[in-house]
Amino acid sequence: MNQQPDTPWGYKLSAELYGIDRWSNDYFGLSPEGKVTAKTLNTAVPLLDIVEGMFERDLQMPVLLRIENILDAQIQRLNEAFRKAIKEQNYQAAYRGVYPIKVNQQAQVVEEIAHFGSRYQHGFEVGSKPEMIAALSTVEEPGSLIICNGYKDEEFIDLGLQAIRLGFLCFFVIETPAELPIIIERSKALGVEPMIGLRVKMNTKVSGHWNSTSGDRSVFGLTTTQIVELVDLLNQENMLHCLQLLHCHLGSQIPNIQEIRKGVVEACRYYADLIREGAALNYIDLGGGLAVDYSGSQNNDEQSRNYSLDEYCDDIVDTLKHTLDEYDIAHPTIVTESGRSTVAYSSVLLFNILDTTTFEPTNLPNTMEDEHPLIGRMREIYDYLNPERVQECYNDAHYYRQEVRELFKRGQMNLRQQSVTENLFLDILHRITALLDKVEHSSIDLNDLKSSLSDIYYGNFSLFQSLPDIWAIDQMFPIMPIHRLNEEPSRQAVLADITCDCDGKIDKFFVNQEVAQSLPLHPLIEGEEYYLGVFLVGAYQETLGDLHNLFGDTNVVSVRLNSDGSFDFVKEIHGDTIADVLSYVEYEPKEMQLRYRNTAERAVREGRITARERQQTINAFNASLQGYTYYEKES
Ligand SMILES: Cc1ncc(COP(=O)(O)O)c(C=O)c1O
């Protein structure tokens, strides 16, 4: 219910409400001035300062903000956590991380991972030829791992063999039996011995959104029969020593640590038996799955995880050590392909609110003389509106409103009468909502009432372009204002984007440690901008985004925070222009300019506009083609 605040409010209450300290992994916080800050290097920089810096550089909202220090910090945390676990448990081999390029293929991200990750020899996982080319041209350290997953043709394999020649540890992970003969053939042709891995189809089935990569029906990986055939073929070719890596991937965003442990135990069984078969295995690649706690609830539901990074690393090292020690098998190098957790935290989508719609009664009129009896019945509801009869009042209000709507359709009631009815209806529903706290058991209808009365805040962004997983798979991200957090947010709202598509909305939010159907927000202030941030969006969102309504890529800004609290704009990419997005769908901007010129020239010939006006309209058309696809405020 939208109410005026009557309690003193401070940034700590906002922090609690939006849960920022629970989901931010210590990368974001609130300042006493009520602003969201990005925190690294013992300093905290208000995002609003960065936004102001963007405007000075003519970068408008919406913008995807990347904070490079966070990317670096995540790589460091992962590698150091494994190092610590290995040391503490006296595990006899090392950890080597790889970043799966598909999780965010943007060059700036991949280059930063290669650059910072080189101190840990952090490598790449690639699933296609373009990703392979991206990895080969970016990775800095020979000796880094390049793990090739996905179906590989001759060209893909040749690229990998050349990479081995250059000193990279480039593994072909066999996903299907058909790949091996090509690998054997190409390695003979090029005279390079291949490094082979095999991906097993795991029985361990994990929960969460992304679980189809595990279990019997998983489309990836080799069955035990196929593994045996593969071993036999390698043996026949005297190449069993090339089989050095075992790969398994249970899925992404695995919320439950126990499932990860079970998966590792199963992987160890395959590992041990393949060693017995004579394979020279010395790497075990456990794929992705390290989850991000989007909700901050630290439990095993699909938007969260019930473990910390340290626990993840400790449990993997512990399970590998104890399981393999039982089989008396040397410890392998541990590889993981963490994508989501590496990049999610470093990107924030920032946008401004353009407008709001509220569902509040306005100008409730007094009873008119000759008022229609149905409106009178609606007014009578006020007489019996109390906690015991809220459901009845709700039903009656709906009934009378529907009757009035029917009469309006048949021309038996006029527009003003219908407007009075709608206003009374809204007023009654708001009063019912205010009573709900006193009602012991309420129906689904009543429970949904609050969200059905919430405001709509229109944000300058496209869900389909920037947050596709919200639409496609009901993924949730933490969303909150980035300023005014010293004021109580007195409105309840859902968010709509500017795509004019009914699916372009967000109506599920993390609020007060629960999933809510509306988000507490501040009322807009005339003449002032209001900015929201969608956090933890660095993984999977950028390349999955589509051109729905032809809203293109947003502006992207990469900043690096300094220890003195200042920050540098290290990179920026202006988002797509209108000409860009039109050319993606096969329009020819030059030809469009020509056609518009001809239309304008004809208007001159036919006396509808002057030659000078023709030039003005052509200039405006051309300028628009070079403009941003999102809503731009006049500067
Ligand atoms: C083979 C493979 N490795 C790694 C990943 C990345 O997983 P995550 O983002 O959970 O780290 C995926 C994604 O599903 C994958 O398919």
Sequential DSSP letters for 38-70 = EEETTEEEEHHHHHHHHHHTT-PSSEEEEEHHH
In order, the DSSP letters of 384-437 are G-SGGGHHHHHHHHHHHHHHHHHHHHTTSS-HHHHHHHHHHHHHHHHHHHHHGG
The residues spanned by each domain of the chain are 11-68+347-358+454-573, 91-338, 373-449, 592-625
- Which residue, by CA, sits nearest to atom 14 of ligand 1? 252
What is the pLDDT, as a whole number, of residue 42? 85
Is the beta carbon of 427 within 6 A of some atom in ligand 1?
no
Counting atoms of ligand 1 from 1, which one is nearest the CA of 291? 10
* DSSP state letter for 522: P
Instruction: Tell me which of 124, 149, 249 to substitute to probe ligand 1's pocket, judged by most ligand atoms within 8 Å of the beta carbon.
Output: 249
* CA–CA–CA angle 292, 298, 303 (5° rounding): 45
Which residues does the chain have with pLDDT short of 70?
1-7, 208-219, 635
Convert the pLDDT of each residue in 234-261 to its tens digit: 999 999 999 999 999 989 999 999 999 9
Q: Which CATH entry fits the domain spanning 373-449: 1.10.3470.10, 3.50.50.60, 3.40.630.30, 1.20.58.930?
A: 1.20.58.930
Is the beta carbon of 489 within 6 A of some atom in ligand 1?
no
What is the pLDDT, as a whole number, of residue 502? 84
- Which residue, by CA, sits nearest to atom 4 of ligand 1? 288
Instruction: Tell me the CATH number for domain 91-338.
Output: 3.20.20.10
Is the beta carbon of 340 within 6 A of some atom in ligand 1?
yes
Phi then psi for residue 604, to 5 deg, are -65, -50
Structure tokens at 542: 């950028």
Instruction: Tell me the CATH number for domain 11-68+347-358+454-573.
Output: 2.40.37.10
- Which residue, by CA, sits nearest to atom 7 of ligand 1? 288
- Written as one letter, the residue type at 576 is D
Convert the pLDDT of each residue in 4-25 to its tens digit: 555 689 999 999 999 999 999 9
Q: What's the 103 CA to ligand 1 centre distance in angstroms?
A: 8
What is the pLDDT, as a whole number, of residue 1? 45
Phi then psi for residue 358, to 5 deg, are -115, 160
Instruction: Tell me which of 74, 78, 102, 200 to substitute to probe ligand 1's pocket, judged by most ligand atoms within 8 Å of the beta carbon.
Output: 102
What does the alpha-carbon distance between residue 76 and residue 427 come to, in Å, rounded to a whole number? 55
Residues 6+ apart with CB under 8 A from 188: none
Q: What's the 326 CA to ligand 1 centre distance in angstroms?
A: 29
Q: What's the 212 CA to ligand 1 centre distance in angstroms?
A: 12
In order, the DSSP letters of 222-245 are B-HHHHHHHHHHHHHTT-GGGEEE
Q: What's the 99 CA to ligand 1 centre distance in angstroms?
A: 9
Counting atoms of ligand 1 from 1, which one is nearest the CA of 340? 9
- Cα of first residue to Cα of last residue in the chain, in angstroms, is 36
Alpha-carbon dihedral sign for residues 364, 366, 370, 373: positive
- Written as one letter, the residue type at 287 is G
Is the beta carbon of 72 within 6 A of some atom in ligand 1?
no
Structure tokens at 8: 């003193």
- pTM score: 0.92
Q: What's the 206 CA to ligand 1 centre distance in angstroms?
A: 14
